[in-house]
Structure formats: structure tokens, C-alpha cells
Structure 1
């Protein structure tokens, strides 16, 4: 008797997972292609990463419902790396990042990524979103972006002039804006209509419009799945000795890991099933990136859009994410030429919408009101990524978060009680560290030349620099005051 409910449950889960896998596939298809095109690589490489993310990473333990693939969050980093080192070096970078993730996971460092300041991660995503939007505005008008956050932003006025004076550019812009607008409006449609993902509907409509009216706008270039695969060579592997190249590998690994594990934390809040094992998930991501690197494909991360879609579509097990990879493989094997009809302006619209979703506009005002320091970290991190590079921007954000935390943790309150006669009583509470030492010494040195009772019983932490300075101040005070009892700190 117990077997019947079990069989029924397994059958129900299989049906639910297959249905969910089709929905995730329909969401992933335009995103895989769009991320590849925006990264400056063949569209097929995005499909390869999606396939590996589904079949390889999907089979491994870690997070059961999280879906991996090429992510908009790494588009800027990939574009910069390809522009600087060439497409042939991409495989080595992704392969090195994957191996580094495997090592981090084996050392059980996955859980430590949760210690990264949320403000830094939000700032990183916001910075990526801004740079992504700026770059894709050019693609939406069938123009070539200058490359780089500041250069793209500075060139926008010229882009506007060129667009309004070109009928072809205006047609492409209309297709891109229409795509982004349809995606944004899709959640308001009736539930039975929303069964089909908005990204697919928008790109499909833009493609149909372009084909029917034979619009003279740019379309996706297709080279073939096998032709797009470029395994890394020994010459490119030798570049790892270059400091800048090695730093790029580290940036890929750390940013992909942080994005994946923060996505896992968000996905865990969407369902009541098994929680993520962060170390195993990090190793699963590393295994996937190692395979992607060996194939010369794009790097992968866990993608919150696909993962949330997977949960909302009713997925129960990892079968859904594996099957989504199978559907991508079948499409890439049998229908790759269908991509040649897709206008690049429509894919730019998809990515502009994705970039806009990366910017936490709704959270910024409450964050500024309640945690002003965190809001500053977020804004500075985003601005640093736009004005410098991804890696440097994140480092600046992490450094600022550490400084902010150190400053907050060193808060000390000084109260002085002086009746005008007898000893002056000074009480310190909080954390007395070197960061607050100038204020403490200024207060003590401004006291009248009488006996002082220094009460440190309310101090939670007294670092060596502060202790040494207070002892030195007490010794100097002893030398100038003739009272029989010298002012000494009392524990």
C-alpha cells in the first residue's frame, strides 16, 4: 500500500518538473543568446553555457532548484576580457575561474561568501546594470559601443544625434524599445497568458515583425554550434603568468561565486524544500565553469531570473533544470539557423530590461533612511564599477564596507562629571580603538589640572594602541600634578 502514494508522488513530480523545464527553457533561450551577443562572442557560446549549466551543474548537488547559465551580471566583465585578450583567451579565463571555484569549494569557503556585505553585492549589480544598459543602448540602435562604462555614457549624446538622423537606426530603436516595453508589461497580463514567458513573446514578436516587413536592421549572426567551440590552447594558457590576466581569472571566479551563492540564498527563500549546501554549490559552479572553459564558452553563474521562474513554474527536483539544458541542446543541434532571424535590437531590449532589474531603486530610499552608511557603500561601489573596472570597483566597495564597519564598531561615548571640587570623573563606554583615539585624548587633555578618575568599566574592547596612549597620558598627568593619588585608569 505505501508504494502507491510514492509512485503517484514521483509521477506528479516528473510531470511538474518537465513542465517547469519547458518554461525555464523558453526564458533561458533569449537570455543565453542575448548575453552572448552583448559579450561580443558568437551566439552559440551562450547556448553552450546554458546547456552545461543545465546538464552538468544541474546534476550535481548543492541547490536543487537553482538554474545556472550565462548571466547578464558577467556581460561587462566578459566583453572587457574579450576586447583586451581576444576570444581565444576566454576559455583559459573561464577554465581557470572554474578550477579556482573547485578549490574554494573543497576548502569549504563557500559559506564565507555570505559574509560579503549585501550593500557591496547590490552595488556591484547596480554598477553592472548601469554599464550594461549604457552599452546595450548602442546595440538597440544598431550602433557599436565605444567600450567601457564612462566611454559609453560619454558617447550617448552623439548616439542620440546619429539615431534621430538615420531611418534604419530609428527602426532598430523602435524594435528594441517595443521588446523591453512588452517584457515590462507582461507581468500585468492575465495568468493564463503569462504561462508563456514574456522574454520569449517579446523576442518572438520582434522577430516576426522584422521578417514579415523585411526590416533592414541587424540580426544575429550564426556560425554553427561545433564551429563556435574554441578549446583553449597552450599559448593562451601561458598568459596566466601575466598579473593582469591572472587578476581577471580571480575576478571571474569571485564575482561568479558571489552572484551564484547570493542567488542561492534568494532562491531558498522562495521554496520550503531542501536548503542549499553552499560549499557543494560552489563546487558545482566550478565544475560547470571548468567544462565551459574547456569548450571556450561563456562563464556561468546561477541566474536568479531563471531560478525564480523554475520555482514559480512548480519544479520539485533538479530534473527540471537538467531537462531545460536538454531542450537547449536539442534547439542548438536542430534549430540553430532560427537565430539568424532574431534582430539584435530585440536582444538589446531584453538585456536593458535585465540591467534595469539589477538596479535596486526601490531599496535605495529605505536603505538611505535606515542605514545611511550601507547606502553610501552601495552607491560608491556602483559608481566605482562604472568609472573603473568591475574588479577594481568591487575591491573599492569591499574596502569601504570594511572601513565603515570598523568605524561603526569603534564607537565610544565619553562622559565627564565635574562638580568643580575634588576629582574629575571620566567614564568611557563602547569600543575604545585607535580610530577614536584622537577624540579621547582631546577630551582628556582639555580637563582641568586636578585629579582625574578614569572609569573604563563600560568599555567592551580596548585595543593596544588605546591602552598604551591612556597609560602614557596617565604617566604625564602624574608628573605634573602633586596630588598624592595619580589619575589611573580603573577597570
Structure 2
């Protein structure tokens, strides 16, 4: 614990302390400017910065976010100050904080997780452009305008009339920021923003440049306590709710945005909302502006190298100390240097990597609308516009219906409908279905996860009309039986069904249900199975089989039982071309010197090891093996089956191993032990083949035993050799899979 504490202190001293100073230097002028723009006392901005840093930084759920007065609430605060006065606005801020605490306790902050990343990235880019345009005017020796568009329009004239010393300070700051990270690590260990401000301030002081300074005289003396608003309490409550929602939304959006900019612990949004609420209550009680998570300060904090919440708390402490007794020290830093730092940070928030991410998910419109809205209208309006567009696009994707038509060689028309069938997709669905010629035999696959009543009526009415005119319709549903249940009058679930595999080849025929008349006795399940393969699976696997058509190169020889319950590709999750498979009754491998010799097994071993050069030979047995049960019952069981009895003689060596073990086991236990011992005996029999033995000794071939427990659908592995006890068999799964 002591080492952890020392490490935390070292990290705070090395990373968070310098970062807090940088954020402090950025927060002071911004806080004062926001207070002035809102018509509030200058001290209100400093009080809010201190409360946001200390209270929200300590109680909030984000380890890296910095809170304070925010420009996005300037218009709202200005209106409240004009209507109710400043002291009444402070009480409204307290009420807004209480609402935020209540929402946080109710876990309402989780709604912020539904915000599209494209909206967050667009917000970051828009805020970056707004900040860069505004502060560029300050760098050029002027004053920022009331909007981003006005700043852009006035920029050419500002460039023409720019002032030399002020521009030089800004350019010097940007140059230091650009080259600082390329310097040796010993030098670049100091955060670049702090170094840039220090270099700019020192240069301006040594050369006596004409730069702009801040005058804070009389700022603290203007503080006044909150008062009860005079007016309609409905309007007061509405104003408090508006501030709570705007400030809370900005804080949570800032959390989600900054979470992707650092490698630390992710934010707890509910805790963050509660922390913001307490900070607003403290700020309002002390006569400060409303508090929110501020993207500019948070990104500045991250860029400056902050690692924990200590940076935000320390930044609030520095603001508090400065407001009380060190107001004159800010005059050492030129405003133009601070503005240049903000221009640089604003541009850095426009990430091309984020733009490429949203482009890859076709969310560029959301990104552009959010960014444009933030720049042209405002932060809240731009975010709302982005959210609205993201919701519309999501609704369009969720209700998109894909209809594929393909004519089969037998003349039947195969139609596949994919997506979510809602009333929004009915026009397109109806158009495609009505275009099918009358009298056509149609196989309709509904690969859907939801169907509402309008979609059902459209499909059902078309089916009835098509069959009335002489056509046939066979409907197969890949997911839940939406159509079948609706046709039967069953109540439909309001939720979407979970997706299931498009192909169901692994299910026994008896488990497959189709929304068509049941098969008659004369119909062949194999024929119908091949038809289903042609419709569903063949288009998916055709590219794989095209590659395999030139030849096979399996890495495994898989010897297993002919039992119909054993599906090698299913229990090994293998595909075409992976396993060279040999199946026989009892997964037996006759010894190479057996008389008579079994050419079937011997030839497969020779071909696998001599031509295919497999790396592994696996013998797979299973529980409840009928061949092993016949061995236990004795020769009389197969006396009337001459060929089977002769074949099972190859299992006598496995039976001898069982008889050499302990007695007294019940029949089921004996059968299970014999099934396991038989695997290892056949592995030993494989070593009697010279080619196999040589490759095993050379290390180019591995022998492996598998045991499939049918009842639990569990595969176990057994090492080569015949053990005295089946205890050496090890499960491949941590626990039985449940189906």
C-alpha cells in the first residue's frame, strides 16, 4: 500500500501538477470572459472555476475531466440575469444542481451512452473550430466576435490590421508547441503547453513587447450572495431544469468524448452527474456561474499530460488561491500567448482519425451536421441536430428490408427477405412480391428478426392471392416463427428475436420446422436436405469449394465411429478440407500384423501419412458405443452377424485391458471405461504401422485421442498409451455445454 501511495504522489507531482498549472492558466481568462459575456460579476467566473475544479473534480465520475463555467450556457445565463438579476440567478443555479443530483441518483445518466460517437466527434471538431476562430482574433491583436461566422467574416480584416508584437507572441507560442514533442525526452518531459507559455512570457518580458495584460482590480469585491427570484415560479423551475439538462448533457457528452482520448479508467456517468450537481450547488451558494464539464479545459488537461483527478482538483485550488491573493501574477502571461495555446488545442481536437472512423460506418452526415451546427448555431443545438439525424439514420437501417430473388434450376423461384419487417418496409416488400409472376412455385425464406402486423398482413395477403391464382408458396423462417405464430393467432412478442445461424444443417431433420405442409411418407428427407443445401448453404460455401476443387491438403487423419450421433465437423468446429476422415464400427484400428489384414484402414493410414503428410492422427470414441457393448456381452450377441463378429475381434485387446482392471463395476460404468480404454488401445495399434511409428519418433506426427460424451455434448482428450485408469482423460471444456 505504501508503494502505491508513493507511486500516486510521484505521478501527481510529475504529471498532474504541471497539467493543473496549464489548465489553471487557460481557465482563468476563459472564466473571466464567460462571466463578462453573461453579464455576471467577474468573480463569478473564478468562483465557478474553483468550485468545478475542486468539488466536481473530487466527487465526479471522470478521472480526467475538468469542470467550470461554460460558454454554451452564456446566452441562457445572460437572459436569466436580465430577467431576475444576478443574485436570483445564483439560486436558480443551486436548484439546477439539486436536479442534477436527483437525476444521478436515479441512474438517468446512462442515457448518455446512447449518444452516437459521430455526434461526440463532431462536437469536438465543432468546438475546436469555434475556439480556434475566436482565439485567432486575440492572437492577431483584436477581439473575438459574437459567433464563429462573424469571426470568420472579420478574419481577413483582422489579418490586414494585425499588430506586430502580439502576433509574434502568438506565433512563438505555436512554434514551441509544434517542436516541443520532437525534442529529447529529458526536455520534452515538461508539458508542451507549459513550456510554450513560459517561453512566450519570458521573451515578451525580455524584449519589452507590447502585449495585452489582464486587469483584475476590483473583481473579488463585486461578489454578492444569492437571493430568492421574484416572479412566476413555473418559469423559475423551467429555467432551473433547462440549466440542469444543458449543463448535465454537456458534462456527460464531454465524458464520453474525453474517455476516448486517454488510457485511464472510464468515467462513471451517474457519479459524474451527481458530482456536477453538488458543484453547481456550491458554486451558486458562493455566487458563481453554473458549472459543467468543459471540453476545452478537459482536452487541455489531457494534452498537458494529466493522469488523474488530482489535476482538476489542483487547478481549482490554483484558481482559488489566485482569486484571493495572487491576482496580479497573471499579468506575466500575455493574453495572446494563451489565445495561441487555445488555437493550437482547438485545431488538435479536429481528428482525421475520428473522421475516418465515422466514414467507415457511413456516419459522415451525422459528423458534419453536428460540427456545422455547433459552429453556426451553438453547442446544444448542434448536438441535438446530430442526435436527431443519427436517430433517423438508425431507424432507416433498422427498418431496411433486403429482398433477393433467384430462380432455381428446377424452375422454382427462391425469394429471401432479410431485415426487420415493419410498416416502413411494407411498400418495398409489397412491390417486390407483386412483381412475381402468377403461377410460380415460390420458396420464401423469411430471414427476419421482427415482424409487425402490417408486414404480416402484406405477406399473408400476397400468399393467399398467389396461391388462389395457381402458384405455390413454401415459407421457411430462419429465426422465430413470426409468420407461423401470427397466422395461427398467437400473441406476438414485442421484442426482437435473437439471431440464429442462417443454415440449420446441424439440427436433426425431426427438429426442423417449416411453415408448409408436412412431408408425406413417400418424400425423401435426403432429397429435401440437398434442396435446402442448394438454397441456403451452397451460395455461402461455393467460394471455399472452388478453391478446394484443385486438391485437398488436410492436416489431420480423423478415425471415428460410424455412430450416427457423431458429427466430426460439428464437434471439432472444422470445415471442408480440414479432416481426412475414416469411420467404422467401434473406431477400431486393426494392428498392422493382424490376420487377416484390413486393407481399408491400412490404405487410409498409408495415404494420409505418405501422400497427404498429415500432422495428426486422431482416434475419437464416444459414450454408449454399441460395438463396445457387444464386446462386453460376448460373442453370442453377434453370432448371427458373421461379418460384424469377425470385425469386433479387433477390439479384443481393448476388452483385455478392462478385464485386467478392478471388478465390481456396474454395467454402465464398465461400458464407459471400455469406451475410453478402447481409444488408447487403438492409438497403441497405430504405432504398429512402421510409417506411423517412424514419424512419431521423428516428431513430425502426433497421435491424439478424443472422447465425446453424447449426453453432455462434451469433448475430452486422452493421451496416447493404455492407462490403468481413465483418470488421465482430461476435459477440453471448463464445464459441460448446455443446449
Q: Are residue 35 (structure 1) and residue 30 (structure 2) matched? A: yes
How do 1:281-320 residues align onto structure 2 when only pairs under 5 Å count? 281-294=272-285, 295-297=287-289, 299-301=291-293, 303-305=297-299, 308=302, 312=305
SS in 2 for 1:447: coil
What is the distance in 1 between the residues matched to 2:303 and 2:158? 35
How do 1:239-278 residues align onto structure 2 when only pairs under 5 Å count? 241=235, 247=242, 250-264=245-259, 266-267=261-262, 269-270=263-264, 276-278=267-269
Which residue matches 2:48? 49
User: Cα distance 1:44–1:19, how it changes in 2: closer, same or farther (>3 A)?
Assistant: farther
Structure 1 contact 95–293 (Cα < 8 Å) conserved: yes
Which residue matches 2:105? 106
User: Cα distance 1:246–1:156, how it changes in 2: closer, same or farther (>3 A)?
Assistant: farther
User: Cα distance 1:279–1:91, how it changes in 2: closer, same or farther (>3 A)?
Assistant: same
Structure 2 contact 438–469 (Cα < 8 Å) conserved: no
1:278-302: CA deviation from partner (whole Å, max 9, x where unpaired):
3222211221233223332352316
What is the distance in 2 between the residues matched to 1:440 and 1:148? 48
User: Cα distance 1:34–1:253, how it changes in 2: closer, same or farther (>3 A)?
Assistant: same
1:158-213: CA deviation from partner (whole Å, max 9, x where unpaired):
333343xxxxx343233223223323332223333334433233333333444444
SS in 2 for 1:416: strand
Q: Are residue 330 (structure 1) and residue 327 (structure 2) matched? A: no
Which residue matches 1:358? 349
Residue 30 of structure 1 deviates from its aligned partner by: 1.4
Which residue matches 1:116? 115
User: Cα distance 1:228–1:239, how it changes in 2: closer, same or farther (>3 A)?
Assistant: farther
Which residue matches 2:417? 428
1:213-237: CA deviation from partner (whole Å, max 9, x where unpaired):
4444432231456335455544488
What is the distance in 2 between the residues matched to 1:285 and 1:266? 21
Which residue matches 2:396? 407
Under a length normalisation based on structure 2, what TM-score does the superposition of the two structures give? Answer: 0.56
Structure 1 contact 46–298 (Cα < 8 Å) conserved: no
Structure 1 contact 98–253 (Cα < 8 Å) conserved: no
What is the distance in 2 between the residues matched to 1:224 and 1:25? 26
What is the distance in 1 between the residues matched to 2:306 and 2:77? 35
Residue 245 of structure 1 deviates from its aligned partner by: 8.5
SS in 1 for 2:187: coil
How big is the alpha-carbon RMSD for the aligned residues of Structure 1 and Structure 2? 3.6
Residue 27 of structure 1 deviates from its aligned partner by: 1.7
What is the distance in 2 between the residues matched to 1:286 and 1:400? 30
Which residue matches 1:207? 201
Which residue matches 2:64? 66
SS in 2 for 1:449: coil
Which structure's residues are more often helix, by fraction? 1
By relative contact order (CA 8 Å, sep 6+), the higher-ranking structure is 1
Structure 1 contact 32–69 (Cα < 8 Å) conserved: no
SS in 2 for 1:39: helix
Unaligned runs of 5+ residues in structure 1 are: 1-5, 164-168
Residue 117 of structure 1 deviates from its aligned partner by: 0.8
User: Cα distance 1:97–1:200, how it changes in 2: closer, same or farther (>3 A)?
Assistant: farther
Structure 2 contact 98–277 (Cα < 8 Å) conserved: yes
What is the distance in 2 between the residues matched to 1:414 and 1:471? 16
Residue 420 of structure 1 deviates from its aligned partner by: 10
Structure 2 contact 174–344 (Cα < 8 Å) conserved: yes
Under a length normalisation based on structure 1, what TM-score does the superposition of the two structures give? Answer: 0.81
Larger-gyration structure (1/2): 2
Unaligned runs of 5+ residues in structure 2 are: 476-482, 485-514, 516-739
What is the distance in 2 between the residues matched to 1:346 and 1:240? 45
User: Cα distance 1:270–1:234, how it changes in 2: closer, same or farther (>3 A)?
Assistant: same
SS in 2 for 1:145: coil
- Of stretches 213-222 and 254-263 in structure 1, the one that deviates more from structure 2 is 213-222
Q: Are residue 449 (structure 1) and residue 438 (structure 2) matched? A: yes
Residue 130 of structure 1 deviates from its aligned partner by: 1.4
Residue 385 of structure 1 deviates from its aligned partner by: 1.8
SS in 2 for 1:414: strand
User: Cα distance 1:79–1:205, how it changes in 2: closer, same or farther (>3 A)?
Assistant: farther
What is the distance in 2 between the residues matched to 1:40 and 1:143? 19
What is the distance in 2 between the residues matched to 1:345 and 1:259? 26
Structure 1 contact 104–282 (Cα < 8 Å) conserved: yes
Structure 1 contact 35–351 (Cα < 8 Å) conserved: no
What is the distance in 2 between the residues matched to 1:377 and 1:231? 43
